[in-house]
Structure 1
Amino acid sequence: IYLKKNLSVLLSLCTLACWGVILLSARLYWMGNKPPNFSNSDNPAADSPHFLTRTLTFLYLPAANAWLLLCPDKLSFDWSMDAVPLVRSLADWRNLHTVAFYCGFILLALFGLRGSAFTAKETNGRAHVTNGKSVTNGNGYHAFDTNQNTDLGLPKPTLNGSAVPHHCYSQTSLPPTESLVVFSLGILALPFIPATNLFFYVGFVIAERVLYIPSIGYCILVATGARTLYVRLRTRACKAVMVCLCIGLVLLNGLKTVQRNKDWSNEENLYKSGIHVNPAKAWGNLGNVLKNQGKMAEAEKAYRNALHYRGNMADMLYNLGLLLQENERFSEALHYYRLAIGSRPTLASAYLNTGIILMNKGNLEEAKRTFLTCADIPDEKLKDPHAHKSSVTSCLYNLGKLLHEHGQQEEALTVYKEAVQKMPKQFAPHSLFNMMGEAYMRLNRLEEAGYWYRESLKAKPDHIPAHLTYGKLLSITGETTEAEKYYQRAIQLDPSKGNCYMHYGQFLLEQSRPKEAAEMAERAAELDIDEFDVVFNAAHMLRQANLNEAAERQYERAAALRPDYPAALMNLGAILHLNGKLPEAEANYLRALQLKPDDAITQSNLRKLWNIMERQGLRTKQKGDP
């Protein structure tokens, strides 16, 4: 009898279950038929070595999710880490929640499954139950149902067997209460089963998104209970109270929805709303948002707050190190990068930035070891293997660049080739290809150099360094017309970049076009007035073009930018010497010798200068002079 009366409900549940299996199978197929990869902090219970802890926690989590449906007073964008502490023993009071949840679920299921059969049997006896209301042949109380859901629109039986029409408006009958209970429990439970860690561990503790479909079943269950209770109430006052309670429930949930929508209006509000649930993750994400807004001090404070709650978060240690590095606090940044590596030895990006800081500080051997260690990290069982491969490729690129700058071209090419083999598809290879071209060019293997320069331009047609280096190669091979086009194209790509004018000026000087070269040099120095290399090279070019007055101005700028650089002082002395400003030239030669006493060129220039000054009767600062 039960199967006949509830066949449609059972078919609906079977259809729901089948679709769930199909979708879950498709998801597993797209994941490569492997369970998801996630860090230990995403699902701490899955990482627990104790069977009792795992079992009690996994049994408790459905009860915690059910409580979010019943009373969504505490919500969060993330429930990982310690947001839900592990249930480690039977003495934990949360086990009472677990017992109450499963007992309530089982009782509801029994009511739905056995109640329908019991109701079907009663319809063959004296009582006819209609949506929770009993209509008898005795002297029982019969109340008119103002909700118009108490009758099925059937004729009312009488004692003599005749039928008297029941006075009721025609209406469509609702499913039996028991069937609705079974259906709502099915919608509650079946979509949630994959998130229970029953078949495989999932990468979250609680995820509010997995409650979207179960919430439909919960709403049906609440509505069914409210309808049943309303029908059974006998007085208008009780029914009015019931209606008010239902309205109040809708209003409260509506207000919570409005409040939650404000939390989700932007990232800053969202992460602030999660601080009371998951402070470590919320503060960390808030730090990222504040950093993107340019609020560096507030971002640093947020990162430190996150580390106060959970000090071994490798990502947060790395983010703090990155912020400090961007603010040129390199020693502090290095400290946090090393802590990040200690917390997660496979964090390739931390090795990369550690190596860059060491390289810039002159610790070249330690930088090499750091880059090599990074290159040897396996890319298996990582949360983000693509980002890892990109960082490893960048480490190899920087290691090759370090070797290239120290004249080890063959070793640099070996490292660059390894980087090409390991780089992921999303890695932008233009800089790597350009550096390979430069290494081949240093080895005078011009054909191979040209190939890699063209590959660099193919990867990124607006890559300015490749235009400049390829232009230089074409100039060496005698293709001066083509070379000039690449120099001019580089300037067109970024007219504000003084380095482009500098390279073009050098090319023009080599082509015996000194006037044009001088114009490019001065333009370069004007654009990059604070760049020592640009200003210094511009001064050299102006001097080679015999524009000594202009060269003097640029040498003075260079010496002001790096007052402790002997070559800048010596060259300034030399141009002053040529321009006839002998006392000033002497002063700069002497300052250069104080910094580099054994420099033969400066000593020779100074002796020549003193000879000229003596012939002109000028006072010098030689030892023994009065």
Structure 2
Amino acid sequence: MPGKGARAHWRREREPSCQTLACLKVGKMELGVVAVVSAVAWVVHWNTLAADFAYDDSRAIKTNQDLLPSTPLSNLFRDDFWGTPLIHSGSHKSYRPLCVFSFRINFWLGGFDPWGYHLVNVLLHALVSGLFTHLAAGVFLQHSLPTMVAGLLFAVHPIHTEAVAGVVGRADVGACLFFLLALQAYVQYCKWRDKEPEYCGRRWMALYGALGLATGAMLTKEHGITVLGVCAVYDVLIQHRLTPRDIPSLLVEKRYQGLREGLLHLVGAAIVLVGFRVHLMGRKPPDFAPADNPAADSDSFVTRTLTFLYLPAFNFWLLLCPLWLSFDWSMEAVPLVCSIFDPRNLVTLCFYGGLIYTFLFVHRHLPRRGAPSESAFSLVGSTNTCTCQTLNQSPKLSFYSNHSGPAQRHKKFTPILNNNNNNHAFIQSTCNGHRVSNGTCNAPPPVCQPTICYSASDCCECAVTCSYRLDAVILSLAFLVLPFIPATNLFFYVGFVIAERVLYIPSVGFCLLVGLGLEQLYKYQESSRRRKALICTMVILLVLFSVRTFRRNLDWRTEESLYRSGIHINPPKAYGNLANILSAQGKKTKAEWAYRKALTYRSNMADVHYNLGILLQEQGRFEEALQSYKVAIQFRPRLAMAHLNMGLVLGILGRKEEAIEVYRHCAQLDSAGLKDPKKHESTKISALFNLGRLYADEGKYHEAIDVYQEAMHKMPDHYQPQSLYNMLGMDTVYPFYLTIINHSHCTTC
């Protein structure tokens, strides 16, 4: 009876070639997996369609003038994500015109109905999940198990809830879409670049298409530009298998001409895009409140360093175990690491130790000398999917198999030069960079188990296995590390501690690693029972993640449920925002309790003091309201709304002179560096009109006319005249105000 190896070799000789039936089946398998993953992504997130606008959605959509048809489209390219001009000192400097443009299309189709905005988010996530599954199929050489696991994990991962359920998370989902498309285009460019001359036109189309898609990723969200780095990693480490020793030859040798061409375009595009971004941002970086990023505000170098080193480890833990999620991680949600004796430093050491080990693993298993060749990943999707003769080619040497059966299994191969006509000849002298001697693939575990090469297909199979595992690790690291670099505070401070939506693109690398790890565990299990247990464990994990995501989506349906869900993570922020919702619902007693509860955690929150003052003012508790406004101004001297309302309360209490002084001071407040300068300027105009109203009540009509004219002269373009009429109301000043308006128009004419 022939041995198992001989039977496998006999079957391989009789299998159809890749140009016919086999590759067609592979394509159908991939299409089915992509369809399943996209459908699961839709089903898990469909319950967000009934959600309302929550948290940052209100400022990005409801109060963003750039969504209105009356606003010129050119403003989208001059304003930041929140509608503030980029040149303003208080701008957030978040430049995402393509995302804002999609919001504008939503507004054109359905106004401020949140259903349409959430529908687009869910559709985009389903599309990105399918596109990622297609990428995973290429990385895993169409192996169904790791492809399905990676795709489903990405589709249902709870860390994506904020990016999908929160409308402003569209920036991350859209950037990921452009990100994956740009990488696929660059992979296609690398394949056509090394082909025959007839592919010259196609290769340039693919290259500039990749650069254009990378630009789209950056214009959707800033960290989308890191796709250029991922493309460079692919070209250098996956397509060419370069090591540091090959860098000198990269600059001069002809075989690296294509690589030099690709890298020059990537570096040039990066310089242009970064220069454009810096030019728009201006010389001064955005200012963030200390509560947004407490570590950046710390005076201790040790505290800043230890905390910034710990935060990436904490983000990775959220990918591993997304049990604790929150709409906001600012303030003391993640306590600062102030000492080297903090136990969390052990987590930091383990995280960076594992990362360094993985980098060393990649470096150790790269070939000793780089050679321009196609990776296993680059072959997927072409007509050569089932062949690997171009992997690590060495056309100068080939081997001929003299064996005729299992009895000859360990017989040495006889080298035959340039004999490419025999079906048993194989043209590789390396197995993923490891020498093949005496018919044995000497690649060490865990990359490739030593295998006796009975024929070309045997050694080729070993080479492909070695290659695609290494490709998967390299690409996973590139996705995990590069898109996350802008959030590490290494080059500039950011306005958040942790943002779950920022992990949307890095989770691509995490899901690839999980898929690869599961496949390796599955292969090394000899018992079928253990394999079934492994599959059942993965299925249970995916179900648990799906349930967690589905339930987390319910937290995002209303602002009240969202803020209640964040109490155990960020109590001061959650209680303060929850109190606003309760106050709007008329639950004044509960709202006051929530405001005071928030202040017990953090007493210097000016917004909470101001909102508490509004609540007390509505209840007629003017002295208490006045005290709340004073405390709010103490912690934030340029809080114009607190000045305005304090003037109103002073006027009600009959302290006219104090009210006049407060109104005058409010009208002179500087808006430099404020996050919402438009609202600030509108409040200053309201202070002037209230001052004029106060003069009119006292019969000082000439002073009132002067103040009204000053207000009309300083009125910004975005100030709506209707708000003026609502403020004045139908009181005794209204007829006099109309006279003033007509008089001012006549004098102007």
Contact 2:295 2:336 in 1 (8 A): yes
Q: Which residue identity does 1:176 align to in structure 2?
A: Y
Aligned amino acid, residue 449 of structure 2: S
In the other structure, the counterpart of 1:321 is: 613
Structure 1 residue 84 displacement after superposition: 0.7
3-state DSSP of counterpart to 1:79:
coil
Q: What residue is the counterpart of 1:110 in the other structure? A: 360
Corresponding residue of 2:449:
134
* Secondary structure of residue in 2 paired with 1:76: coil
Matched-pair contact (CA < 8 Å) for 1:375–1:395: yes
1:253 deviates by: 1.6
1:93 & 1:389 partners in 2: Cα distance? 48
How far 1:99 moved relative to its partner?
Answer: 1.5
Q: Distance in 1 between matches of 2:477 and 2:642?
A: 48
Whether 1:177 and 2:469 are equivalent positions in the alignment is: yes
Quote the residue 1:71 is aligned against.
Answer: 321
* 2:342 is equivalent to residue 92 of structure 1: yes
C-alpha distance in 2 between matches for 1:455 and 1:105: 73
2: CA distance, partners of 1:241 / 1:19: 48
1:62 aligns with 2:312: yes
Instruction: Tell me which residue corresponds to 1:7.
Output: 239
CA distance in 1, matches of 2:365, 2:691: 74
Q: Tell me if structure 1 keeps the 8 A contact 2:447–2:470.
A: no
Is the Cα contact below 8 Å between 1:351 and 1:371 reproduced in 2?
yes
Inter-partner Cα distance in structure 2 for 1:192 and 1:209: 11
Corresponding position of 2:491: 199
Question: Aligned partners of 2:263, 2:505: CA distance in 1, in Å?
Answer: 14
TM-score (norm 1): 0.61
Residues 410-489 of structure 1: pairs in structure 2 closer than 5 A: 410-429=702-721, 450-452=742-744
TM-score by length of 2: 0.52
Change in 2 beyond 3 A, CA 1:102/1:59: same
Call closer, same or farther: CA 1:326–1:27 in 2, change over 3 Å.
Answer: farther
Q: Secondary structure at the match of 2:567?
A: coil
Shift of 1:114: 2.1
Partner of 1:52: 302
Deviates more, 1:295-304 or 1:306-315: 295-304
TM-fit CA distance, 1:442? 7.6
Amino acid at match of 1:99: L
Letter in 1 for 2:291: S
Are the equivalent residues in 1 in contact too, given 2:310–2:344 (CA < 8 A)? yes
Paired AA for residue 6 in structure 1:
I
1:345 matched to 2:640:
no
Cα deviation code 1:588-619 (max 9, x no counterpart): xxxxxxxxxxxxxxxxxxxxxxxxxxxxxxxx
Distance in 1 (alpha carbons) for counterparts of 2:467 and 2:269: 23
Question: Does residue 683 of structure 2 align to residue 391 of structure 1?
Answer: yes
Structure-2 separation of matches of 1:375 and 1:394: 9
TM-aligned CA distance change 1:260 to 1:356, over 3 Å: same
The aligned residue for residue 649 of structure 2 is: 357
Determine which structure has more spread, i.e. the larger CA radius of gyration: 1
Distance change (3 Å), C-alpha of 1:112 and 1:18: farther
Candidates 658, 664, 668, aligned match of 1:376? 668
Of structures 1 and 2, the one with the larger relative CO (CA 8 A, separation 6+) is 2
> Distance in 1 between the 2:263 and 2:353 partners?
22
- Identity, % of aligned pairs? 47
Count of residue pairs the alignment pairs up:
427
> Which 5+ residue runs of structure 1 have no aligned equivalent?
138-155, 158-162, 457-626
Aligned equivalent of 1:593: none
Report whether the alignment pairs 1:283 with 2:575: yes
Higher mean alpha-carbon deviation, 368-377 vs 70-79, is at 368-377
SS of 2:449's partner is strand
Q: Is the 8 A contact 1:287 1:299 kept in 2?
A: yes
Name which of 81, 92, 96 aligns with 2:331. 81
Distance in 1 of aligned mates of 2:304 and 2:539: 40
Of the structure 1 ranges 99-108 and 269-278, higher mean CA displacement relative to structure 2 is found in 99-108
Aligned CA RMSD, in angstroms, stands at: 3.7
1:97 Cα deviation from its structure 2 partner: 1.4
Task: Give the counterpart letter for 1:120 in structure 2.
Answer: N
What whole-Å deviation, never above 9, does each CA across 1:138-185 have from its counterpart, x for those lacking one? xxxxxxxxxxxxxxxxxx42xxxxx4876999xx97952122111111
Pair 1:43-2:43 in alignment: no
**Partner secondary structure for residue 540 of structure 2:** helix
Match of 1:252 in 2: 544
In structure 1, the residue matched to 2:503 is 211
Offset at residue 263 of structure 1 (A): 1.5
| 1:19 Cα deviation from its structure 2 partner | 7.8
Which amino acid in the other structure matches residue 590 of structure 2? E
Q: What is the one-letter code of the residue matched to 2:295?
A: A
- Offset, 1:418: 3.2
1:8-34 deviations in Å (ceiling 9; x for gaps)? 788899999988877766655554564
Q: Which moved more, 1:292-301 or 1:420-429?
A: 420-429
Answer whether contact 1:59 1:98 (CA < 8 A) is retained.
yes
Q: CA, structure 1 residues 7+264, in 2 after alignment: closer, same or farther (shift >3 Å)?
A: same
